[in-house]
Structure 1
Amino acid sequence: MFKDKEVFLFDLDGTLLSIEAEEFLKYYFGALSADFEDLCADQEQFVKLLMASTEKMIRNDGSCSNQEAFMEDFMDKMEIKNQAEAEKIKGRFDQFYQSKFTGLDQYFDLDRETPAEIIEYLKKQGKKLVLATNPLFPKEAVAARLSWIGIEAEDFELLTHYENMSYAKPNPNYYREILEKIDAAPENCLMIGNDLKEDAVASELGIKTLIISDKLIEREDSSYPVAWQGSLKEFKELIKEEV
């Protein structure tokens, strides 16, 4: 399974980071809406706006960065037409991700040992690593979540985030964009994730998919082939046997 595989693509949430997506979003949206309370006092309405603009970002067609897709839609929904005001609000998002976002790990019981051991082992074997997390957050937020489990952003040749990507999961073009950025052939790659659709869709490009079952996500239209499935700890033992 691992023979001649030089590139390991890792999902983050539910894979390396042992967090339930819905639980994470509860604390994330709560902190963000509180930070923007002066713009929208109705936190429930603000979260609805965020989710709608995030959905627009997920459907991005590659014509702009995911960040641009999100911000354009969000500013439109907030009825902000002034460019200077829009830039000010964008800066507030950046400040939130650099400050309050970084402390959200306090709400979660995280496995900080297994993920770090996996990444360190693969680095020692000379493998090329990509953090193939759905690019819906800025680089600072992605790096912060990695730090919660003792992993450095510099361990990866590429982190996908909303500034450097123009597609999102489950669009197969998201994986095409990664392959182009790292100049890799799909047959030389493995995708490791926990979502039987968003991660396993990489198989459409010829990338073998391994599924981490600890926080498994199954969807009605999940029908992609999976090369292996097991826990993160079982994956750690597997690579030590085969890599």
Structure 2
Amino acid sequence: MTALKAVVFDMDDTLLSINLNAFIGMFALDEANLLAQAARKSTVALFTSVGSAMLELNNGERAEGDIRTNQRFFADEVERRCGVPLLEPAILDMLEFYEREILPKKNDRLIAARPREGAHEAIEAVLNRGMRIALLTNPSFSRACIECRMGWGDMLDMPFELVTTWENSTRCKPCSGYYLEALGKLGLAPEETLMVGNDPKRDFPSPAIGLKTAYVGNGNQPRALWCGSMADFAKGFDEIEEQFCTGD
């Protein structure tokens, strides 16, 4: 019997209800506009470069020895495509100001970001069992951008031991390397950790590493330890922990 020591959570549509496609579209267009103004280039060209670099970051096809952070990888891809040096201090400062000061005010009726039903209760249930928690959101955004969405979900005060961002990660979901890297920072083995997520692809490591997933997305997933809503997860966490430990 393996004891459950920690529960690690996805964020978007797991702890946070959000129209993620609307958010990404707004965010990418805003940043492309800023970069176009700074570099005196076409917004369309910058939007295309940023979008292509983001797809490249998330497709997982990186050499095994590539240890660049996701931030560095993304910046290199953007510069290769359009010549804009994202890591120049002036550009970094401009983007961080936008993400810290402007982006938090962009939560409109289309994006509709708010705490997901049962999310806070789920965190409380895990902490009440004396377990550790971490936020394993896909690290294809900066810390500032992720903290913006954490704020929308009233998560900034939650005692996450780790929040994965593109500054501290070298791979994205569902790459098993991403999960092993994050769990390594926490000093945890996959076998003593439960992942909670809504994405039928990204929240299951590929290839499998022995990390069990509680699935809170739509439908059922045969690979999941447990399937249901986040509210049901919160209510039934004791039973889920027992299922984790017994393997039933």
Note whether the superposition's TM-score is higher than 0.5.
yes
1:233 corresponds in structure 2 to 231
Letter in 1 for 2:31: L
What TM-score, normalized by structure 1, do the two folds share? 0.84
2:28 corresponds in structure 1 to 29
Q: Is the 8 A contact 1:66 1:136 kept in 2?
A: yes
| Percentage of identical aligned residues | 24
Secondary structure at 1:210's aligned position in 2?
strand
Secondary structure at 1:99's aligned position in 2?
helix
1:196 corresponds in structure 2 to 200
| C-alpha spacing 1:75/1:95, structure 2 compared with 1 (3 Å) | farther
| C-alpha spacing 1:44/1:229, structure 2 compared with 1 (3 Å) | farther
| C-alpha spacing 1:165/1:194, structure 2 compared with 1 (3 Å) | same
| 1:186 to 2:185 alignment | no
Letter in 1 for 2:194: L
2:94 corresponds in structure 1 to 92
| C-alpha spacing 1:115/1:123, structure 2 compared with 1 (3 Å) | same
Partner deviation per Cα, 1:169-194 (whole Å, 9 max, x = no partner): 12110001011111101111011111
How far apart are residue 225 of structure 1 and its match? 1.2
What TM-score, normalized by structure 2, do the two folds share? 0.83
Secondary structure at 1:155's aligned position in 2?
coil
Q: Is the 8 A contact 1:202 1:208 kept in 2?
A: no
**Quick check: 18-27 or 143-152, which moved more?**
18-27
Letter in 2 for 1:5: L
| 1:138 to 2:142 alignment | yes
1:166 corresponds in structure 2 to 170
| 1:156 to 2:160 alignment | yes
Secondary structure at 1:49's aligned position in 2?
helix
Letter in 2 for 1:109: A
In 2, the alpha carbon distance for the partners of 1:120 and 1:202 equals 29
2:107 corresponds in structure 1 to 105
| C-alpha spacing 1:122/1:183, structure 2 compared with 1 (3 Å) | same
Secondary structure at 2:179's aligned position in 1?
helix
How far apart are residue 5 of structure 1 and its match? 1.2
Letter in 1 for 2:56: K
Specify every segment of 5 or more residues in structure 1 that has no aligned partner in the other structure, as ranges. Answer: none
Q: Is the 8 A contact 2:139 2:172 kept in 1?
A: yes
| C-alpha spacing 1:65/1:21, structure 2 compared with 1 (3 Å) | same
Q: Is the 8 A contact 1:201 1:224 kept in 2?
A: no
Specify every segment of 5 or more residues in structure 2 that has no aligned partner in the other structure, as ranges. Answer: 242-248
How far apart are residue 57 of structure 1 and its match? 2.5
In 1, the alpha carbon distance for the partners of 2:132 and 2:153 equals 20
In 2, the alpha carbon distance for the partners of 1:77 and 1:40 equals 15
| C-alpha spacing 1:72/1:242, structure 2 compared with 1 (3 Å) | closer
